[in-house]
């Protein structure tokens, strides 16, 4: 029996690493665009002020960048160290985007980051500007590939199961890359990074305004950041909308959990908070149809028939078929050499039931329901904060254009105190995406319990606490260094 | 013809290339191992940190890409070795994690732990990473304690395919002297490369003299270990694969591979000559600074040859001592033909990537690093 404790600690360790990684990456994605825009203004106008402005944000970018890299390398290798069965079972598909990410994106980031940071006097202005953009583009390209990989886990496409090699094998590379879930996930994640960068820059700039320091610098930064942030937020909303539609289509349980929807149906209501609902809104959001059918948790477990007549199996039926698939797999393996005819029959049974293979590892249907309150509230926090931050950025930009921002201390305070909110929104988003798909590593094909490595619980606990200590230490140090650098202001000197 | 077999060998070539480049780029680690040894005062240490600090991300990225490429092309290695030799890989990763933040944090106000602590992290990574990576690669020749049973997926209660045979989870590799010798060899090579790189990259005659002294010691140690390792490689049993895929231990297999693959032997010899020439010229001529440009390609070629010796010519590259049949070979651990073919197309971009890295490397390093530049320009 795979120990539950091992599965849970392995999940916790991965969540910890991913959560910390996602504290640093969005700022990298967003700040890159903001400082590249600033440097572009410098190259066009030749105004040294913009050079100094972009250089200041680059300092903060560099401090943050390093920790993102540090947490990222652990993530990549954790697929092997802690999810070794997963690594073989789907490595034929999953490894490719990781390798492409390294070859295409990471070298780009590494090379041009060094030119951007150390090359001011070594390369021409234009080459330097190109390097700054390429650092940001490299970061975005790396997001493409890791999200292609992640989207494949949420909605596996372009592969076939091969019982001889005991793994899923890629048969269509472009299906993997153009996976609709990957496309919306990419825009949703990258543009949420733009929001993070924008709220970060606005918040810190408002601190300068509160202190009545660096006013020109602060207002100029706010102008660029707010525009980037508002564009980003609209893109996040659009891609969030298509993410919802995809969840309804490919991961109905995730959607039901995010809505806390026990019993669904046609014209399903959208819950704002428990007890407050907008009639039919969930159907509109999830299916773009006011009468659209959205199944609830119970419907999914008990099985349901959509209005178009398509019957969806109950959990028990899926588990049954999963067990049939696994049994046929074993029969095929055992008889392959000795009794090819019987093996061929087993192979056929396996192929007929392969879509439910992962359900065979599920012991009871309760396991198929993710932790509803966590997903439900994470979703509300994400959307609520997103809406609030959009409002904030619009207000800040409006006040700035009316030349009143420098005198509106209340808004400055709100903006400063909103910096943590954008991080909370980002973390909540990943909780919806990742906790919402439990118990699946790969939707329907492999549950977490069949994906873990065979290491002891104690080993995983040890590395978990080790990573907690290291990452927390780095986070605290990074924040202290940033605060010191911010207090010094745009003329920041090291020592 | 581009057959499945060809693609598997092609991808092992890419792995060998990335492995070779990675060991060459360990000059960053080797240089950092010398921060407190070759750097006698603050300005010298600052020069070393800033010199390796402009290259560290390339090493780091090569490590990550090496991992990614291994995952994409030979996923069974990824799952068996990383999930099995858990502690070795976690240790390696942790030292790199500390390295990643240390450059940026070390001289910044508010860094809590102080400059010397972060530089000590750099030195720690500088020593441990080459040592541990070398020791881990040593097990490619000596074997590890694991079993692979793909049919386990059908066992609902216990579906894990790759299992490690002991609770040490990889740490037991140090019990085999060959692995440790291999690790120390890689470490002394990395330190030699680090010294060569710093001599070339930094314009400071006093520091250069100290670095030359370090180079003499580390390269001497390297040569001794190289002889020991070569002696073992010639005499030790290797893991041979026959036409049916069965693995047996064959005396002198690795030496035989060299003789049977003259191109690989040539690669190894050319690499060794370049490496020795680069170091010898640097040690013998006080005004010669370009040793790294000979030692770097030399190292890359020699390491590539070693990877080919352990993977080509019907050899199990990640052998199991617990169960010979579980040993990983190019044929039984690779991705599907479709994936290898797709990734082969992707790999065509590698020369372009190498070209732009080289171009900007030259742009950035036209002038050697001086204390003057660190006083007036950007620095860590």
- The chain A residue lying nearest B166, using CA atoms, is A455
Measured between CB atoms, which of A80, A92, A323 is closest to B82?
A: A80
Residue A493's pLDDT is 36
Number of H helices, E strands in chain A: 18, 10
Round the average pLDDT of chain A to a whole number and report it.
94
Question: Which of A81, A96, A171 minimises the CB distance to B89?
Answer: A81
Q: Which residues of A fall within a CB distance of 8 Å from B101? A: 66-67, 70, 474, 477-478
In A, minimum Cα distance to B147 occurs at A454
Min CA distance, A14 vs chain B (Å)?
14
Instruction: Kindly state the tokens that stand for B273.
Output: 């000559």
| 8 A C-beta contact, residue B363 and residue B103 | no
Q: What are the beta bridge partners of residue B320? A: B144
Size of interface A-B (CB pairs under 8 A): 295
Helix/strand/coil (H/E/C) assignment for every residue in A375-426? HHHHHHHHHHHHHHHHHHHHHHHHHHHCCCHHHCHHHHHHHHHCHHHHHHHH
Between chains, do B97 and A73 touch, taking CB under 8 Å as contact? yes
pLDDT the model gives residue B373: 87
Residue A19 to residue A72: CA distance in whole angstroms: 11
CA dist list (Å): A276 to A216, A260, A270, A294, B232: 45, 12, 9, 18, 75
Q: Is A107–B61 a contact, with Cβ atoms under 8 angstroms apart?
A: yes
| CB-closest option in A96, A111, A459 to B342 | A96
Residues whose CB is less than 8 angstroms from the CB of residue B345 and which lie 6 or more positions away in sequence, other chains included: none
Task: Choose among A74, A7, A60: nearest CA to A471.
Answer: A74
Residue among A107, A137, A170 with most chain B CBs within 10 A, to mutate: A107
- In the numeric block, which tokens belong to residue B178? 């060959």
Q: Do A483 and B110 touch (CB under 8 A)?
A: yes
- pLDDT value, residue B367: 87
Do the chains contact at A326 and B154, CB–CB below 8 Å?
yes
Length of chain A: 495
Please list every residue in chain A whose beta carbon sits closer than 8 Å to the beta carbon of residue B72.
91, 95-96, 98-100
pLDDT single digits (tens) A120-135: 989 999 999 999 999 9
Among A85, A111, A165, beta carbon nearest to B79: A85
Using the Cβ of B110 and the Cβ atoms of chain A, whether some distance falls under 8 Å is answered with yes
Q: Mutation test of the interface with chain A: which of B57, B158, B351, B377, choosing the one with the most A Cβ atoms within 10 A?
A: B57
Question: Distance between CA A462 and CA A458 in Å, rounded?
Answer: 6
- Quote the pLDDT of residue A307: 87
> What is the extent of the structural domain holding B144?
4-376
CA–CA dist A50, A132 (Å, integer): 14
Is A87–B86 a contact, with Cβ atoms under 8 angstroms apart? no
Cβ atoms of B148 and B80 within 8 Å: the answer is: yes
DSSP B340-355: HHHHHHHHTTHHHHHH
Q: How many domains is chain B built from?
A: 1
**Distances in Å between the alpha carbon of A408 and those of A216, A398, A400, A412, A413?**
15, 12, 10, 6, 9
ipTM of the complex: 0.94
Do residue B363 and residue A115 have CB atoms under 8 angstroms apart? Answer: yes
Q: Which of B103, B104, B130 is nearest to B33 (CA)?
A: B130
Optimal mutation site among B245, B360, B370, B374, interface A, most CBs of chain A within 10 A: B360
**A171 close to A156: Cβ distance less than 8 angstroms:** no
| Cβ contact A250:A443 at 8 Å | yes
Q: Mark the ranges of chain A whose per-residue pLDDT is less than 50.
A: 492-495
Beta pairing, strands A167-170 & A159-162? antiparallel
Q: State the alpha helices, DSSP H only, in chain B.
A: 4-25, 27-33, 35-38, 42-53, 56-73, 75-77, 83-84, 86-106, 115-142, 177-201, 205-235, 253-260, 262-284, 292-311, 330-333, 337-347, 350-364, 371-376
Q: One digit per residue, pLDDT tens: chain B, 380 residues?
A: 799 999 999 999 999 999 999 999 999 999 999 999 999 999 999 999 999 999 999 999 999 999 999 999 999 999 999 999 999 999 999 999 999 999 999 999 899 999 999 999 999 999 999 999 999 999 999 999 999 999 999 999 999 999 999 999 999 999 999 999 999 999 999 999 999 999 999 999 999 999 999 999 999 999 999 999 999 999 999 999 999 989 999 999 999 999 999 999 999 999 999 999 999 999 999 899 999 999 999 999 999 999 999 999 999 999 999 999 999 999 999 999 999 999 999 999 999 999 999 999 988 888 889 988 888 888 88
Partners of A166 on chain B (C-beta within 8 Å) are 150-151, 153, 161
Touching A: B residues 186-205, CB under 8 Å: none
The secondary structure element, H or E, covering residue B151 is none
From residue B302, alpha-carbon distances to A99, B244, B265, B295 in Å are 24, 31, 9, 10
Looking at residue A495, what is its pLDDT?
A: 30
Residue with tokens 């490369």: B193
pLDDT of residue A1: 54
| Residue A447: φ, ψ to 5° | -85, 160
Summarize pLDDT for A281-317 with one digit per residue, the tens.
999 999 999 999 999 999 999 999 988 889 999 999 9
pLDDT in tens, A352-411: 999 999 999 999 999 999 999 999 999 999 999 999 999 999 999 999 999 999 999 999
Q: Which of B68, B87, B97 sits opposite A98 (nearest CB)?
A: B68
Amino acid A492: pLDDT: 39
Task: Inform me whether the C-beta atom of residue B84 falls under 8 Å from chain A C-beta atoms.
Answer: yes
d(C-alpha B125, C-alpha B133), whole Å: 11
Contact check, Cβ <8 Å, A494/B379 = yes
| Confidence (pLDDT) at A134 | 96
Question: CB within 8 A of A345, min separation 6: which ones?
Answer: none
pTM attached to this predicted model: 0.94
Q: b/e string for A477-493 if b means 16 or more Cβ within 10 A? A: bbebbbeebbeeebebe
């Amino acid at each position: 029996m795979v120990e539950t404790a091992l599965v849970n600690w392995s999940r916790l360790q991965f969540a910890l690493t991913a959560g910390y990684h996602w504290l640093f990456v969005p700022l990298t994605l967003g700040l890159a665009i903001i400082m590249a825009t600033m440097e572009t203004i410098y190259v066009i106008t030749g105004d040294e002020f913009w050079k100094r402005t972009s250089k200041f944000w680059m300092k903060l970018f560099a401090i943050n960048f390093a920790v993102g890299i540090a947490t990222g390398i652990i993530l990549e290798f954790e697929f092997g160290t802690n999810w070794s069965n997963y690594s073989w079972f789907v490595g034929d598909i999953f490894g490719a985007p990781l390798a492409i990410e390294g070859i295409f994106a990471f070298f780009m980031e590494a090379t041009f980051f060094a030119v951007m940071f150390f090359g001011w006097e070594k390369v021409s202005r234009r080459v330097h500007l190109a390097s700054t953009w390429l650092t940001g583009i490299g970061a975005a390209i790396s997001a493409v590939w890791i999200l292609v990989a992640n989207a494949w886990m949420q909605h596996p496409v372009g592969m076939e199961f091969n019982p001889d090699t005991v793994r899923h094998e890629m048969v269509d590379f472009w299906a993997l890359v153009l996976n609709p879930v990957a496309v919306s996930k990419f825009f949703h994640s990258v543009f949420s990074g733009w929001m993070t960068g924008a709220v970060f820059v606005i918040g810190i700039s408002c601190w300068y305004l509160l202190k009545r320091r660096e006013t020109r610098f602060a207002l100029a930064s706010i102008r660029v950041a707010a525009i980037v942030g508002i564009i980003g937020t609209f893109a996040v909303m659009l891609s969030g909308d298509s993410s919802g539609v995809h969840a309804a289509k490919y991961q109905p349980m995730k959607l039901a959990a995010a809505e806390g929807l026990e019993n669904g149906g046609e014209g399903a209501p959208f819950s704002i908070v428990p007890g407050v609902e907008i009639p039919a809104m969930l159907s509109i959001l999830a299916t773009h149809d006011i009468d659209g059918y959205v199944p609830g948790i119970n419907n999914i477990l008990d099985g349901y028939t959509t209005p178009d007549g398509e019957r969806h199996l109950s959990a028990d039926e899926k588990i049954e078929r999963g067990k049939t698939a696994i049994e046929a797999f074993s029969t095929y393996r055992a008889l392959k050499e000795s009794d090819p005819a019987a093996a061929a029959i087993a192979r056929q049974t396996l192929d007929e039931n392969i879509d439910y293979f992962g359900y065979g590892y599920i012991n009871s249907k309760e396991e198929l329901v993710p932790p509803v309150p966590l997903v439900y509230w994470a979703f509300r926090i994400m959307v609520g904060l997103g809406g609030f931050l959009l409002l904030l950025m619009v207000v800040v930009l409006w006040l700035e254009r009316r030349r009143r921002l420098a005198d509106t201390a209340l808004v400055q305070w709100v903006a400063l105190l909103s910096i943590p909110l954008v991080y909370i929104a980002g973390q909540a988003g990943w909780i919806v995406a990742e906790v919402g798909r439990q118990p699946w590593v790969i939707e329907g094909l492999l549950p977490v319990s069949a994906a873990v490595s065979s290491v002891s619980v104690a080993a995983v606990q040890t590395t978990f606490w080790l990573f907690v200590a290291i990452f927390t230490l780095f986070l605290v140090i990074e924040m202290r260094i940033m605060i010191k650098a911010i207090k010094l202001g745009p003329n920041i000197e090291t020592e | 013809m581009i057959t499945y077999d060809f693609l598997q060998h092609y991808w092992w070539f890419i792995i060998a290339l990335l492995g070779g480049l990675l060991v060459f780029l360990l000059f960053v680690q080797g240089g950092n191992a010398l921060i407190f040894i070759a750097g006698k005062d603050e300005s010298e240490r600052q020069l070393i940190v800033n010199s390796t600090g402009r290259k560290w991300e390339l090493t780091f990225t090569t490590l990550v890409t090496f991992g990614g490429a291994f995952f994409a092309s030979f996923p069974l290695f990824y799952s068996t070795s990383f999930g099995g030799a858990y502690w070795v890989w976690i240790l390696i990763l942790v030292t790199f994690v500390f390295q990643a933040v240390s450059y940026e944090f070390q001289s910044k106000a508010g860094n809590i732990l102080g400059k010397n602590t972060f530089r000590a992290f750099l030195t720690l990574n500088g020593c441990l990473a080459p040592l541990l990576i070398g020791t881990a690669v040593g097990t490619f020749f000596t074997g590890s304690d694991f079993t692979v049973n793909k049919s386990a997926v059908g066992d609902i209660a216990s579906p894990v395919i790759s299992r490690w045979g002991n609770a040490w989870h990889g740490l037991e590799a140090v019990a085999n002297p060959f692995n440790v010798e291999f690790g120390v060899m890689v470490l002394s090579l990395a330190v030699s490369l680090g010294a060569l790189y710093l001599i070339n990259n930094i314009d400071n005659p006093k520091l250069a003299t100290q670095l030359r002294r370090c180079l003499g010691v580390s390269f001497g140690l390297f040569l001794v270990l190289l002889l020991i390792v070569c002696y073992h490689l010639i005499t030790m049993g290797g893991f041979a694969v026959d036409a049916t895929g069965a693995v047996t231990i064959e005396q002198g297999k690795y030496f035989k591979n060299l003789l049977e693959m003259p191109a690989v032997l040539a690669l190894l010899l050319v690499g060794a000559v370049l490496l020795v020439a680069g170091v010898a010229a640097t040690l013998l001529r006080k005004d010669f600074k370009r040793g790294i440009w000979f030692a770097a390609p030399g190292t890359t070629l020699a390491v590539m040859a070693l990877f080919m010796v352990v993977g080509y010519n019907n050899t199990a590259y990640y052998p199991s001592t617990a169960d010979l049949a579980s040993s990983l070979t190019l044929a039984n651990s690779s991705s599907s033909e479709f994936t290898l073919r797709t990734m082969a197309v992707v790999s065509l971009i590698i020369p372009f990537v190498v070209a732009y890295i080289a171009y900007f490397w030259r742009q950035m390093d036209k002038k050697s690093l001086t204390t003057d530049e660190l006083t007036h320009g950007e620095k860590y």
